[in-house]
Structure formats: C-alpha cells, structure tokens
Amino acid sequence: MSGGHQALPDDVAPQRLTRRALQVFALVVVLILIAVLTPGLGDVRDLLTSAAPGWMAIAVVFELLSCASYVLMFRPIFCRAMGWRTSWEIAGSELAVGSIVPASGAAGVALGAWVLTRGGMSAEKVARRSVAFLLIKSSVNFVAVAVLGAVMVFTSDQPLWLTAVPAALATAAIALVAAVPRLGPGADPREDAGKVRKAVAATRKALVGGTAEDVEIVREHNALVLVGALGYWAWDNAVLWATFHAVGVSVPLTTILMGYLIGQIGGLLPLPGGVGGIDGGLIGTLIVYGAPAAATTAAVLLYRVVLFWIPLLTGAVAFWSLRRALAEDRRLDLCHPPQIE
C-alpha cells in the first residue's frame, strides 16, 4: 500500500457525516418536542422531566459497555494480529457511523471494510468477514427470541402470536442462514459480463463464504467473540431496561427482550439514524406486549438519546484517531496487517 493521505469514501467523508449527525440530532429533538408540546401527552412530559438522573447515568454506563463489547468482538473476527488501539479506532468509527446512517449498522461495517482493504486485506476476505461479523452480531437476538418465545408459550399469558410465532420465525431465520453455505459460491461471471451480473456474483460469494465463516468462528468458541456478541446485545437491552426505571416503571424483562428485536426492525427503514423507525417500532411492540403507553414512549425517547450520543461521541474520538493513522500510515498493524487466518 502506498503511503500518504488517501481520502475517505464519499459516504463517510467528515463533512457528510457532520451533516448526517446534525440531521439525526434535529430529528431526535423534534421527537422530544412532539412529546413535550403535543396536547394529550402530559403524562409523557411529566415522565421525561422527572426522569431519575441516577438511572440515566446507569443507562449511559450500559451503552458504554455495549460499545466496548462491539470492539471486543471486532478484533478476533477481522484480524487477530491487530492491536487493540486499531481495533477500537475502526470499531468505534463503525459505531459512530452506524448511529447516524440507516441500515442497522451496515454502513459502519462498510467503513471498516474500506479501512481493512486499504490496509492490505483482500477485498474478498473483508467481504466474508463483514458478512460473518454482521451475522454473529445479529444472531444473538434471533436465538434469544427463539428460546424466550418458546419459554413464554408455557410461562406467560401472552397470546401465541406474540410468543410462538416470533419464536418460530426466529428459528426459521436461523435455519435459513445455516443453509446458505449449501448454495455454493456459484460460477465466476465471464469477463464481458455486465456490472449487475458481476455485483450479484460477488454478493453471492460473499454471503455464502461469510455464512460458512460465521459457522466456523462460532464453532471455535472464541471467548472474545462470544462475550462481545452477547455483551453487545445484552448491554443494549439493559439501556432500555434502565430508561424504564428512570421514568419510574418496571417492565418485565421478557417484554423488553421480545420487544427489542421486533422493534429494531424499524432500523432497516432508510431514515437518518433510524430515527422514527426504531422509535416507532419499539414503542408499538412494547405496548403490544403490555408495557404502559406513556412510560414506554418516555423510556424509548430516553433510550434513543443515549443510543445516539454515546456511540457518536466515543466514536468521534476513534474516528479522529483513525483519520490521523490513515493519513500518516504510521502503524503497521493498520497499514500492513500480518497474514490473517
């Protein structure tokens, strides 16, 4: 890799990220103002203004632990020879980008993929590892819903469509992912093939290879991967649990865990930072599972404030450090990583 400065991709250029961050911040402010000013939402206003600072501080700590868990699982999946500082820089930058760009964190992973490719890792390997990382990060949610939904069938008074159906869908999703490697990578496209055909072939190869690699990584029982994946999911759920306590309401943990995954689907909508999609999905799902409406609205708004600011602020420091390293090519583990198994 040649030395010297190389501009970041347009999608993650500092100026564009700053504009996106301001857009998401404005949307979060709008949501809070709606809750504060809209007639008929007096209960929500009262809960927001009386939120317990101690519980909010705990929520911030939980989100910091979730971010740390993300960094923890990043290094062993992408590059075990990478230093922890570099792992923090790339993973922290991914979290910052993911907090302001829609698509459930995929944009952040794309930034990390660009950095690793620039650092000397082959594009094919980066693509496989990126797929494996996203699958491992998401699989904890699906496994939790499959297990929790099955348990709730026998231990709760919730209707089957709120317990058995989500459990069955989560189980089907897990089985589908496990079956992807059987498709095979497919034949390489001809040299004169169009861009679309080549893109489809590359996507299939990355998906099949990444899914197979995901299974291999899980079978290795790497402690950092397992602790990181579980921690990233568990601590983020804990943030929502803490914000409910901040507004003085205790919601059953099963309600939070089940509502979390289904509500997070709203993050797939192409909205800045997922604002509106995640919030609406979480509020609606949690209310359906029996959480009180006013407390749920207030708790989710507080959750979103924490979810926006903590990854953004900590990730901004990581992104600044990463940019300096990229410009100076001064750290070998970033610029020329050793062979990656």
Tell me the pLDDT band of 40, cut-offs 50, 70 and 90: low
d(CA 215, CA 222): 12
CB atoms within 10 A of CB 327: 13
Report yes or no: 183 and 210 within 8 Å, Cβ to Cβ. Answer: no
Q: Is 159 exposed, middle or buried (0-12, 13-18, 19+ CB in 10 A)?
A: exposed
Is the per-residue pLDDT at 334 higher than 60? Answer: no
Q: Is 195 exposed, middle or buried (0-12, 13-18, 19+ CB in 10 A)?
A: exposed
13-17, 98-102, 129-133, 277-281: segment of lowest average pLDDT: 13-17
* Best mean pLDDT range from 24-38, 97-111, 214-228: 214-228
Tell me the pLDDT band of 340, cut-offs 50, 70 and 90: very low
What pTM value is reported for the model?
A: 0.82
CA nearest neighbour of 300 among 264, 271, 333, 273: 264
Query: What local confidence, expressed as pLDDT, does residue 66 receive?
Result: 96
Mean pLDDT computed over every residue of the chain: 81
Segment 303-308 shows an average pLDDT of 88
Report yes or no: 148 and 257 within 8 Å, Cβ to Cβ. Answer: yes
d(CA 148, CA 279): 23
Q: Which amino acid is residue 319, in one-letter code? A: F
d(CA 97, CA 31): 21
CA nearest neighbour of 48 among 236, 237, 249, 267: 249
pLDDT greater at residue 60 or residue 341: 60
First to last CA, the chain: 20
Report CA-CA distances (Å) from 222 to 8, 77, 132, 293, 336. 32, 9, 14, 41, 24
Is the per-residue pLDDT at 107 higher than 90? Answer: no
Listed in order, strand segments (DSSP E) in 171-328 are none
Tell me the pLDDT band of 305, cut-offs 50, 70 and 90: confident
DSSP 5: -
State whether the Cα torsion 3-9-63-169 is positive or negative.
Answer: negative
Structure tokens at 70: 């993300």
CA nearest neighbour of 321 among 126, 3, 91, 98: 91
